Amino acid sequence: MKGLVCRPLQVVLALLLAAALGSARGELELRRLRDQAPPGSRPHSVTITEFGAVGDGKTLNTVPFQNAVFYVRSFADKGGAQLYVPKGRWLTGSFNLTSHLTLYLEKDAVIVGSKESSQWPIVEPLPSYGQGLDLPGPRHRSLINGYNLTDVVITGNIGVIDGQGSVWWQWLRSHKLNHSRPHLVEFLHSEEIVISNLTFLNSPAWSIHPVYCSNVKVHNVTIETSLDAPRTDGIVPDSCSNLCIEDSTVSVSHDAISLKSGWDKYGISFGRPTSDIHINRVNLLSSSGAALSFGSEMSGGISDIHVNHLRIRDSYKGISFKTSPGRGGYIKQVAISDVRMEDVHVGIEFTGNCSSHPDHSFDPSQLPVINQITLKNLVGTNISVAGVLSGIDGAPFTAICLSNLNFSMAADSASWSCSKVAGYSEMVFPEPCTELRDPSSSSSICFSLSRYSAIAIA
């Protein structure tokens, strides 16, 4: 990644000085301090106010954002540029980014999504889905977009991007949507993307959605939506590779982190898997979905996933693997370790009965493969149901491995329910179902388990 450095404090002060002085002297001081930026920062910088933006929370700034991005495109072959957003509430509709750009939000800077649906243009559905999230046909474009880009950073001094999603949630509940809801940030067919040091609030649908992307890092972000909002996911890596999520907190109504790769025949034919994903040191809450989920749209395949140091609380489900006949594809080679759960209804879920489909032309003979899933070093307190594991007739889920798992169960709780699954377990409490205690099985069937000894969490 080129030029991935937060805006230097002296440059920020210079911007404030230039605005305060409103004089040639202030502009000269700004240029002087920009030239002193440390190595690695963007060599060019502009401020959104230079394009007529007003941060009063009322003035619509869609055109200033669009014009600013158009202007900084001229620096793409000169090391790129930074678009600086100072303190204020910057109301805007949807806008696109460009390559070799850093979008930087200062402390107390808030990019606010317009409540007017006309400010969110209509675009075609993703080719691996065939329709929008909520309705057949096209969908609304996300607030901040990138298409076929390289080397883009969205960062700040804990600035905020607020989608004002409540109006979209109301339209969805009242069946007044004409097209599927937009997301907050979406990148398509892009690489070398960093999203860091920001707070994302009230997305109409999903907060961060990289799709068909590679070399993506999401670091030190906070994501929050109302816990009764309909289907608001947090971070959704979708047909992506070489992606890292770390040191972040996500609190949403539906799935906090959800790995996907396309829907039924559309995902099968598009054929781009999600792979080489690393998730570390994240705190998750999902009021009605799963803190960490796989699928159910997984038709392009999901594999080579490594998750460590999860903290899950106050969630309906902890870790969930979801699929259905008609999906095809696979979920395999997944290792999840060092997980703490507290006040979770269902600790672990595997289900082959997610019956939603983009249309009626799905082929139920396209059966998914779920294989080599390892969960180790899990501790849970006040868990209502330890696990519900239900595979598919003719396509049982195999090599599901549990090691060093200890759940403290809530009063009047159930432990395990299993069908059409097979695997291996060691040092698991409460004792798992017989399908996971086959005496003929050994740890050799498990992904990654044989590489490490099970170490109890202190």
For the residues 181-186, what does the mean pLDDT come to?
98
Backbone angles phi, psi at 423, to 5 degrees: 180, -155
Confidence (pTM):
0.90
Asked if pLDDT for residue 349 goes beyond 60, the answer is yes
State the Cα–Cα distance between residues 333 and 354, nearest whole angstrom.
21
Within 8 A by CB and 6+ apart from 387, the residues are 346, 347, 348, 349, 350, 415, 416, 417, 418, 432
Question: Looking at per-residue confidence, does 280 or 9 come out higher?
Answer: 280
Asked if pLDDT for residue 158 goes beyond 50, the answer is yes
In this predicted structure, what is the pLDDT of residue 440?
73
Please, is 393 exposed, middle or buried when counting C-beta atoms within 10 Å of its C-beta (0-12, 13-18, 19+)?
A: exposed
Please, is 360 exposed, middle or buried when counting C-beta atoms within 10 Å of its C-beta (0-12, 13-18, 19+)?
A: exposed
In this predicted structure, what is the pLDDT of residue 355?
80
User: At 259, is the secondary structure helix, strand, or coil?
Assistant: strand
* Of 268, 261, 273, nearest in space to 363 by CA: 268
Report whether the peptide linkage leading into residue 430 is cis, meaning its omega lies within 30 degrees of zero.
Answer: yes
pLDDT digits over 381-424, tens only?
999 999 999 999 999 999 999 999 999 999 877 799 999 999 99
In this predicted structure, what is the pLDDT of residue 19?
41
In this predicted structure, what is the pLDDT of residue 443?
86
Backbone angles phi, psi at 12, to 5 degrees: -60, -45
Asked if pLDDT for residue 267 goes beyond 90, the answer is yes
- pLDDT above 70 covers a percentage of the chain that reads 89
At 360, is the pLDDT very low, low, confident or very high (cuts 50, 70, 90)? confident
Helix (H), strand (E) counts: the chain: 5, 24
In this predicted structure, what is the pLDDT of residue 197?
97
In this predicted structure, what is the pLDDT of residue 130?
95
At 450, is the pLDDT very low, low, confident or very high (cuts 50, 70, 90)? low
At 441, is the pLDDT very low, low, confident or very high (cuts 50, 70, 90)? confident
- Supply 180's token pair: 């599927």
